[in-house]
Amino acid sequence: MSVSHTLLGLLEAEPRHGYDLKKIYDEQFGQDRPLAYGQVYSTLSRLLRNGLIKATGVEQSDGPGPERKRYTITDAGVTDVARWLSTPESPQPYLQNTLYTKVVLALLSGRSAADLLTIQRSEHLAAMRVFTQRKIDGDLADQLICDHALFHLEADLRWLELTTARLDELATAVRS
């Protein structure tokens, strides 16, 4: 995910402080990986330097903390977000998958690739249970995020099953 574009998109709605941007980012997108404050402020500095945002004032914080700069998006920033939103993401095929590499190396070394695939299948099923429960307990955003993860895990499981069924054929091909 592009943190820069996400922060720009949040600024497009209204001017905000870095603290507010982190809070909203974490609530909307960072449930599993909250954004570090350092990343927020370094990203804001880069956006400011590139003319995509501007500082529109400084306010005293509520308490002993530092002053807070308020940022707003510029016309160039709006154009950049619009371009980013209208550009489709490239599908990411996993042609150099670590799991495939492990299967081949297990076969080459005489270890059990079947055991590796069985253990991996168990890990995938455990992750699916976690995401399924989170989906049941979550709001719409959690449900959609979990659906995405579950569909990818399901595709991985199909690959694990197919590879397990073809292990003998793969072993022959790898060893020749």
Q: CATH number of the domain that 59 lies in?
A: 1.10.10.10
Range of the domain at 155: 98-175
Q: Identify the band that residue 154 occupies on the pLDDT scale cut at 50, 70 and 90.
A: very high
The helix (H) or strand (E) run that includes residue 104 is helix 98-109
Residue percentage of the chain with pLDDT more than 70 = 93
Domain C-terminal end among 60, 86, 112: 86
Please tell me the predicted confidence (pLDDT) of residue 93: 67
Across residues 43-71, what is the average pLDDT?
A: 86
Whether residues 19 and 58 fall in one domain: yes
- The count of domains in the chain is 2
Please tell me the predicted confidence (pLDDT) of residue 17: 92
Give the alpha-carbon dihedral of 56, 57, 62, 66, to 10 degrees: 110
Please tell me the predicted confidence (pLDDT) of residue 49: 96
Q: Please classify residue 125 by burial: count the beta carbons closer than 10 Å to its beta carbon, then call 0-12 exposed, 13-18 middle and 19+ buried.
A: exposed
Whether residues 128 and 68 fall in one domain: no
Whether residues 22 and 59 fall in one domain: yes
Does the residue 91 lie in any domain?
no
